[in-house]
């Protein structure tokens, strides 16, 4: 009888450990399952869907590109500072120093020259989206840019914009999850306008 008790003791101990560990794991699994799942809203997504950060829908890229351009190249002397600050939120961190300097110089010129700029952007369907090297996404479009100096129309031009974008973590400031790494602006034709032709 004593022999049986000695043999049962390690077995009972192992059974107790297994039951206790099973209970702890069950509680941990229940807590994990009941925890709310993070939800990320991706502008441009058609329906509820799982979105992989490297696979951003073209519609989201187009909306981001048009939003960026509407802040970057549509301004007045009174709004240039605010719009420049918003643009900085959408720029890649490694480009920030150069962009801050460039936007600051442009803001100074705009205020002194009393320059305003309006941009007639196309519909998203007219914009291009393509994948390029290093995981970047290229957004391209052509828009009409009108420049006014002290209220007088000085030029109207067709401008081609190309933005190289990189996926980033979506945030409250940038819900699209994209940042501008490089940009190119090229005039496709300019027509000077007389002051009396407003």
Dist CA 91 CA 186 (whole Å): 20
Dist CA 167 CA 134 (whole Å): 11
Q: Look at residue 175 in the predicted model and tell me its pLDDT.
A: 77
- Of 1-15, 89-103, 169-183, which has the strongest mean pLDDT? 89-103
Q: Look at residue 1 in the predicted model and tell me its pLDDT.
A: 47
Predicted confidence (pLDDT) per residue in 143-198, tens digit: 999 999 988 999 899 999 999 999 888 777 777 889 999 999 998 876 545 444 44
Q: Look at residue 198 in the predicted model and tell me its pLDDT.
A: 40
pTM attached to this predicted model: 0.71
Q: Which helix (H) or strand (E) holds 148?
A: strand 137-149
Is 50's pLDDT higher than 70? no
Largest CA-CA distance found in the chain, in angstroms, rounded: 116
Dist CA 164 CA 184 (whole Å): 9
- Average of per-residue pLDDT values in the chain: 84
Q: Average pLDDT for residues 42-51, to the nearest whole number?
A: 59
Mark out the alpha helices in 51-150 (DSSP H runs). Answer: 58-72, 80-89, 96-113
Is 44's pLDDT higher than 60? no
Q: Are 171 and 184 in contact (CB under 8 A)?
A: no
Q: Lowest-confidence range among 20-34, 67-81, 95-109?
A: 20-34
Q: Which position has the higher pLDDT, 15 or 102?
A: 102
C-beta atoms surrounding 174 within 10 Å: 16
């Amino acid at each position: 009888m004593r022999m049986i008790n000695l043999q049962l003791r390690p077995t009972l101990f192992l059974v107790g450990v297994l039951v206790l560990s099973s209970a702890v794991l069950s509680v941990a699994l229940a807590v994990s399952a009941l925890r709310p799942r993070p939800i990320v809203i991706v502008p441009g997504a058609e329906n509820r869907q799982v979105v992989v950060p490297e696979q951003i829908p073209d519609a989201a890229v187009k909306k981001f590109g048009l939003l960026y351009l509407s802040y970057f190249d549509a301004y007045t002397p009174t709004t240039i500072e605010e719009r420049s600050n918003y643009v900085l939120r959408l720029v890649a961190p490694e480009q920030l120093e150069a962009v801050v300097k460039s936007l600051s110089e442009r803001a100074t010129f705009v205020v002194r020259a009393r320059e305003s700029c309006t941009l007639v952007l196309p519909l998203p369907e007219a914009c291009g989206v393509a994948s390029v090297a290093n995981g970047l996404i290229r957004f391209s479009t052509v828009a009409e840019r009108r420049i006014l100096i002290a209220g007088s129309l000085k030029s109207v031009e067709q401008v081609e914009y190309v933005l190289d974008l990189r996926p980033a973590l979506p945030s409250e400031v940038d819900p699209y999850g994209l940042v501008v790494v490089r940009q190119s602006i090229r005039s496709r034709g300019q027509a000077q306008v007389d002051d009396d032709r407003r």
